Structure 1
Amino acid sequence: MSRHAHPTVPTQVRLCQGCELPVDIVELKRGYSADCPRCGTQLYRSDNYSLNGNLALAITCLLLFIPSHFFDFITIRLVGMMIEGTLIEGIFALIREGYPAIALLTLFCHTIAPLAMCGSVVTAHIALKRRWFKTLKYSLSILSHSRNWVMLDVFLISVAISCFKLQDYSDIYIGHALYSLVILQILTIVMIGRVSTRRYWEAWKPESDLPVLKKQVHCHNCHLSQPEGTQCLRCGKDLHHRKPHSIQKTWALLVAATIAIFPANLIPISILITNGQRLEDTIFSGVASLITNDMLGIAIIIFIASIVVPVAKIIGLAYLLFCIQFDKVKNHRFEMTIYRGVKWIGKWSMTDLFVISIMLTLVDRGQILNFTPGFGAVAFGVVVILTMLAAETIDPRLLWDRYNAKSSVEPNNKVEK
């Protein structure tokens, strides 16, 4: 639902972080956010959430990590044995099988990144209270980078997929930790939606206390628009009109991901041994097997997450780079939509790797039934990392460099509830 707020007199100008359009900053009613009238990027939102609420959420999440990660989230009865699965056991199982890189990647996405996000909120509050500048700076830097790698929602989808795969081999029981994981996921979604690094920097030193006559460059660390300079007036971060070597870095990551996607799809990603029979599955054959076993819904999810999404990310990023380098940007809003879409869908490619981790935790019973990753899983993990990094290195402001801006901008921005 969208509508127009009834703002007061404009107070100052801020550069849009998506297209660098100077926009008048106005006071909004509670529950509203202001979007850039040109590119649609959210500029700011009203102070509807208290910082103390963020702290309470972060502490609650940290407490939930203990039961959700160290107790069983699922238990199966396999060949007369009760097997309990925990998140940490899945990491150890991957290491034992000789896949430490995949173990580290899955651990980072479902444990380290959420822990870093919650911990950085707590340390940011301590830094504000104690007036520790460096602690605040590093905490907010960790917060802004870790939130994009929090994938508890993807892990929960992977648990559901694993249960469907195992239902033909075993009886499945929900563990207590799964309830903690669901609550933890809900709270992390709420926290990601409400935590803003800009608000913490405003609590440290309000933008109104840094009066400047010209707004020529935008700091992407603390989101302060300011005159030309080498370092930010508020956070001390190096200032750049564009991310340094953005195009070159993105092309390098994209080419590497394109090369890695071939072995990721051609080499078996998982190996299941049942009754002495060895079944090797690539991503494609795994999808086909699910369809054969009347699991069409799961097959569609795996096909989209493991095949469509990585390819779409590579094509989408290549299209944006082509538009930037050859001046082919025609519909700027459309290109910005592609950019936001590529950033959003990136994490869902982790579904297959999470499924492998869960299956390896539960199905490792020697000669009767055994499950192990294939080398295709390593290549697939490389694709996931490279495409997510490529989405971070590309600078969307490059899409607007040759855009003929209007001579004047209306101060009343479109806002959304």
Structure 2
Amino acid sequence: MKSCAHSSPASQVRLCENCELPVDTIPLEPGQTADCPRCGTTVYRSEHASLNGNLALAITCLLLFIPSYYFDFITIRLVGVNIEGTLMEGFHALVKEGYLGLALLTMFCHTIAPLAMCFSILSAHFSLRRHWFMPLKWSLFILDHSRHWVMLDVFLISVAISCFKLQDYSDIFVGNALYSLVILQVITILIINRVSTRRYWELWHPESRLAITEKRIHCHSCHLSQQENTACIRCGSALHHRKPNSMQKTWALLIAATIAILPANLIPISILITNGQLLEDTIFSGVASLINNDMLGIAIIIFVASIVVPVAKIVGLAYLLICIQFNMVKNHRHALMIYRAIKWIGKWSMTDLFVIAIMLTLVDRGQILNFTPGFGAVAFGIVVVLTMLAAESIDPRLLWDKHASKIQSESDNTVE
């Protein structure tokens, strides 16, 4: 890891995408990254990983999806009947219960997003070989945006939680697909850490061949720093110093999430019928029942993922917006760390929704034992999506605007 300040010609400079500080590009050893000296963001990294390796990993993932879908990831024996849980069964069960939105959300996070990421890598390689611009541009756009929604790790944690919940009612057996899912998760982590969309754009049209005299604006599509312009000279995407209407969009999403979090916590999120007895659980009562059943570890995970994380995201984003709007940012690097933490923890709120989908797949035995989602799950799904979109819509460079203006003003005064 290296920090690089700016002292080089324009051709050797790249703008930090989180604070817009010009940073020198210097040769790196394999595994090294160059970090912004002001905000600590990784500006670029060594590009020694093989692109054919990315392709091989993507193809491996696609092949692993076949056993992951056609075989059961978990099997339970309930009242003498073996019930197999598959990824598609969870989707069909939610649709059957009338929760199409939840079915699509869970399906998107554990299936569609990983598939989109892998297919976009294949498409990018094929487009480079055929010299197709628009397929390459769309492939890299999908790759950039889909990997934030890949949640196989959250799904696997949810499988473990579901097993703990069901251990008192049934015998549990690990299915063949679970091994495939674990390997799939490991490979998706490798892909997310390896793949750089900028490298594909560099193969399409290297920066060294572009006439760039100064670097004042950064393209977030192909990651090219360039002179002032309305459209990127490499990929044609619209250029903006700041995301258009970033504050307004984030406030709107955040207010909507704040409203939705009330029914998400007050209305039952799941309904369990056992021996004719109806048990309605809100998020709080579900945590309490886990504690009463001596499942403290699972209770802590659910409490953090379903209560602490959504509230922390809303409070954290509101804090950042207020700091930006009223120029209250004191420690800029600390504020950026809060922003990064909010983006990282966002997906873990999906844990409860995955657990609901898995439980619904496995538990449907009429009056003996029956499980169904409550309307609180719909509100909770809305909170998860809105807070993740709010974290994506805020522009972290706004945190540094007043800071940069103050430094420039002090510099001008010194010169005078």
Identify the residue that residue 35 of structure 2 maps to in structure 1: 35
Name the SS of the counterpart of 2:240 in structure 1. Answer: coil
Deviation at 1:211, TM superposition (A): 3.0
For 2:209 and 2:52, the matched residues in 1 are separated by 23
1:74-93 maps to which residues of 2 (within 5 A)? 74-93=74-93
Identify the residue that residue 298 of structure 1 maps to in structure 2: 298
Read off the aligned partner of 1:93 and give its amino acid letter: A
Name the SS of the counterpart of 1:40 in structure 2. Answer: coil
1:94-105 maps to which residues of 2 (within 5 A)? 94-105=94-105
For residues 248 and 202 of structure 1, do their structure 2 counterparts lie closer, same or farther at Cα, with a shift above 3 Å needed? same
Deviation at 1:23, TM superposition (A): 1.2
Identify the residue that residue 343 of structure 2 maps to in structure 1: 343
1:11-410 maps to which residues of 2 (within 5 A)? 12-404=12-404
Deviations 1:121-179 (A, max 9, x none): 00000001110000000000000010000000000000000000000000000000000
Name the SS of the counterpart of 1:232 in structure 2. Answer: coil
Name the SS of the counterpart of 1:27 in structure 2. Answer: coil
For 1:69 and 1:261, the matched residues in 2 are separated by 33
Deviation at 1:251, TM superposition (A): 0.1
Residues 218 and 241, structure 2, Cα contact 8 Å, conserved in 1: yes
For 1:383 and 1:25, the matched residues in 2 are separated by 40
Q: Show structure 2 runs of 5+ residues with no match.
A: 409-416
Deviations 1:359-380 (A, max 9, x none): 0000001111000000000000
For 2:93 and 2:30, the matched residues in 1 are separated by 49
For 1:389 and 1:304, the matched residues in 2 are separated by 20
For 1:374 and 1:397, the matched residues in 2 are separated by 40
Residues 64 and 180, structure 2, Cα contact 8 Å, conserved in 1: yes
TM-score in terms of structure 2 length: 0.95
For 2:171 and 2:369, the matched residues in 1 are separated by 14
Name the SS of the counterpart of 1:301 in structure 2. Answer: helix
For 2:273 and 2:259, the matched residues in 1 are separated by 30
Name the SS of the counterpart of 2:403 in structure 1. Answer: coil
Deviation at 1:74, TM superposition (A): 0.3
Q: Show structure 1 runs of 5+ residues with no match.
A: 408-417
Paired positions, count: 403
For 2:207 and 2:16, the matched residues in 1 are separated by 15
Name the SS of the counterpart of 1:14 in structure 2. Answer: strand
For 1:109 and 1:70, the matched residues in 2 are separated by 18
Residues 3 and 35, structure 2, Cα contact 8 Å, conserved in 1: no
Name the SS of the counterpart of 1:75 in structure 2. Answer: strand
For 1:13 and 1:4, the matched residues in 2 are separated by 13
Residues 2 and 32, structure 2, Cα contact 8 Å, conserved in 1: no
47-56 vs 179-188, which deviates more? 47-56
Read off the aligned partner of 2:229 and give its amino acid letter: G
Deviation at 1:3, TM superposition (A): 6.5
TM-score in terms of structure 1 length: 0.95
Read off the aligned partner of 1:235 and give its amino acid letter: C
Identify the residue that residue 413 of structure 2 maps to in structure 1: none
Deviations 1:65-97 (A, max 9, x none): 111122100000000000100010010000001
For residues 236 and 17 of structure 1, do their structure 2 counterparts lie closer, same or farther at Cα, with a shift above 3 Å needed? same
Read off the aligned partner of 2:284 and give its amino acid letter: F
Deviations 1:374-401 (A, max 9, x none): 0000000000000000000000000011
For 1:4 and 1:253, the matched residues in 2 are separated by 35
For 1:20 and 1:398, the matched residues in 2 are separated by 10
Query: Which structure features the higher share of helix residues?
Result: 2
Deviation at 1:44, TM superposition (A): 0.4
Deviations 1:100-124 (A, max 9, x none): 0000000000000000000000000
Read off the aligned partner of 2:375 and give its amino acid letter: F
Residues 2 and 35, structure 2, Cα contact 8 Å, conserved in 1: no
Read off the aligned partner of 1:361 and give its amino acid letter: T
Deviation at 1:4, TM superposition (A): 7.7
For 1:233 and 1:167, the matched residues in 2 are separated by 59
Name the SS of the counterpart of 2:233 in structure 1. Answer: coil
Give every structure 1 segment of 4 or more consecutive aligned residues whose post-TM-superposition deviation is greater than 3 Å: 2-5, 404-407
| Aligned residues with identical type, % of pairs | 76
Read off the aligned partner of 2:14 and give its amino acid letter: R
CA RMSD of aligned residues (A): 1.3
For 2:145 and 2:87, the matched residues in 1 are separated by 23
Q: Which of 1 and 2 has higher RCO (CA within 8 Å, sep 6+)? A: 1
Name the SS of the counterpart of 2:215 in structure 1. Answer: coil
Identify the residue that residue 414 of structure 2 maps to in structure 1: none
For 2:20 and 2:287, the matched residues in 1 are separated by 44
